[in-house]
Amino acid sequence: MATAERLIAEPQVRHTECFIGGKWLPAASGKTFETINPATEEPIASVAEGDQQDIDLAVDAARRAFDSGPWSRMDARDRGRLMYKLADLIEDEIDELAALESLDNGKPVKDARAADLPLVIDCLRYYAGFADKIQGSTIPIRGNYFSYSRREPVGVVGQIIPWNFPMLMTAWKWGPALAAGCTVVMKPAEQTPLTCLRMAQLAQDAGIPDGVINVVPGFGPTAGGAIVKHPGVDKVAFTGEHLTAQIIMREAATSLKRLTFELGGKSPNVIAADADLDAAAVGTNFGLFFNQGQCCCAGSRVFVDERVHDEFVDKLKNLAAGRRLGAPLEMETDQGPQVDQAQFDKIMSYIEKGQAEGAQCITGGKRYGDRGYFIEPTIFDGVNDDMSIAKDEIFGPVMSVLKYRDWDEMIERANKTFYGLAAAVWTRDVTQAHDFARRVRAGTIWVNCYDVFDAAAPFGGFKMSGQGRELGEEGLRPYTESKTVTIHLG
Ligand code: ADP
């Protein structure tokens, strides 16, 4: 059972090395890098900087566990049991893990505790239940044959994740991989390695055999690149920027690895004139500012029917101005710092571009405080489709408000992006809601809500926002291969 919610002022950093074949090892090169507390800009810990040599060891361990180890012989239901156990161990440590996530990433501990961690636990349990339900079918082919299909694990999977939801992205990747019977080599983001490393130890404590889960912290082009190029890796699952996915696709071409991608977005969030404006304002504020705006599905293009524009924008402004910025480990904090200096600089440069291109900054627009990567919740009004802030993914607390007059024209504008991850509409008109859901080209559509995630509901992108889906039964498929067996009956 979960412990009572309690504040951990100084979360413990217990693991900083590579986790390979069930052992904690320094990087073969001996190198380390510092993970920084984004609220103070001070180092938290030195972490092993894995590169190709460590990935080679990790892939060997994962291959052995897959090809001949106990994992390959274990009954599916027993695999599921170990996954339930891992979920239980995470739940037992929920407060500590939420605090560690908050320390390394900068997200408010309140959010990590109420959103990230429950979703992590739920995802692992959801896929644990799937372990013994992955099955094939019998196939009625012509002739005197018995033909059937099997769904088998794809093999060793390389998993490369970003820093915005470190534990949740770990769970989204491990859940389907373990349920399907795959083994894993994971590289967490260089900004946020700590909770993924802790999860690796909990996986071992749960009884998941050595070599099934391997975690190698390090940088993208070196450790990540080595995973992508390694001939012993059968599939790569990646979450991050589309530009990185393009590199990965090119590098994976040699071995024709299976690839799934969950990438960026510039999601439209539409406020129709008949919407419940109070609910829409709360949902819009949450849909953009949650997690400091660092969500691939952030509702960053807010289209408002011109008839309700002024009233709605007033509400948005009040909500944004009411957000409490501060130390992520304090329970009252609504908004923490951005994850690092590079993100801070990129977001500030977009705020400058918004101003230079003629949008009106109606709240925020500045750094908050003088220590840590804090940026005020910022809203630009009077944005048009061609401005940089309406086109590019900013990945920060910067909202663009665009007016619309005509419904069909709005749908066309909503689709005028190479992204297609998510979209939302706020309306009381059910016909209008369905029309929007059918015509907007995005992998997830929310109606009168935003950021509703569930382990059972597939998530992923149209167009440059991704390839394949995560979560749900659909999220399992890329972790399996289909095999057809045909037997001559004499
Ligand atoms: P973000 O802007 O969210 O950091 P990235 O796509 O740069 O997005 O990073 C997401 C993950 O991909 C991180 O773990 C990062 O280290 C890794 N990564 C970055 N470049 C490469 C690369 N060339 N090959 C493999 N992984 C990479």
Tell me, letter by letter, the H, E, C secondary structure of 211-268.
Answer: CCEEECCECHHHHHHHHHHCCCCCEEEEECCHHHHHHHHHHHCCCCCEEEEECCCCCE
Report how many helices (DSSP H) and strands (DSSP E) the chain contains, helices first.
16, 20
Q: Express each pLDDT in 212-243 by its tens digit.
A: 999 999 999 999 999 999 999 999 999 999 99
Identity at 25, one-letter amino acid code? L
What ligand 1 atom has the least distance to the C-alpha of 163? 3
The rounded distance, in Å, linking the Cα atoms of 153 and 73 is 12
Q: Express each pLDDT in 250-262 by its tens digit.
A: 999 999 999 999 9
Contact in structure between 91 and 1 (CB atoms under 8 Å):
yes
Structure-token match 């450790």, residue found: 223
What ligand 1 atom has the least distance to the C-alpha of 247? 23
Active-site residue 296, yes or no?
Answer: yes
Active-site residue 18, yes or no?
Answer: no
Is residue 2's pLDDT more than 70? no
Q: Which of 223, 245, 161, 239 is nearest to 196 (CA)?
A: 161
Residue from 51, 104, 160, 294 whose mutation best tests the ligand 1 pocket (most atoms within 8 A of CB): 160
- Alpha helix ranges (H) inside 323-439: 341-356, 388-391, 407-414, 430-439
Q: Which of 397, 398, 453 is nearest to 421 (CA)?
A: 453
Residue from 244, 257, 341, 343 whose mutation best tests the ligand 1 pocket (most atoms within 8 A of CB): 244
Q: What is the mean pLDDT of residues 118-143?
A: 98
Q: What is the mean pLDDT of residues 148-167?
A: 98
Distances (CA, A) of 69 to 19, 78, 83, 210, 322: 17, 15, 17, 9, 55
Q: Are strands 18-20 and 145-153 parallel, antiparallel or unpaired?
A: unpaired
The CA angle 386-388-389, to the nearest 5 degrees, is 105
User: How far is the centre of ligand 1, averaged over its atoms, from the C-alpha of 390 (Å)?
Assistant: 24
The rounded distance, in Å, linking the Cα atoms of 173 and 261 is 11
The rounded distance, in Å, linking the Cα atoms of 297 and 237 is 18
The fraction of the chain above a pLDDT of 90, given in percent, is 97
Is residue 323's pLDDT more than 90? yes
Q: Are strands 301-305 and 360-363 parallel, antiparallel or unpaired?
A: unpaired
pLDDT at 69: 87
What ligand 1 atom has the least distance to the C-alpha of 190? 16
| Residue 6's pLDDT band (cuts 50, 70, 90) | low
Q: What is the mean pLDDT of residues 449-475?
A: 98
Identity at 316, one-letter amino acid code? L
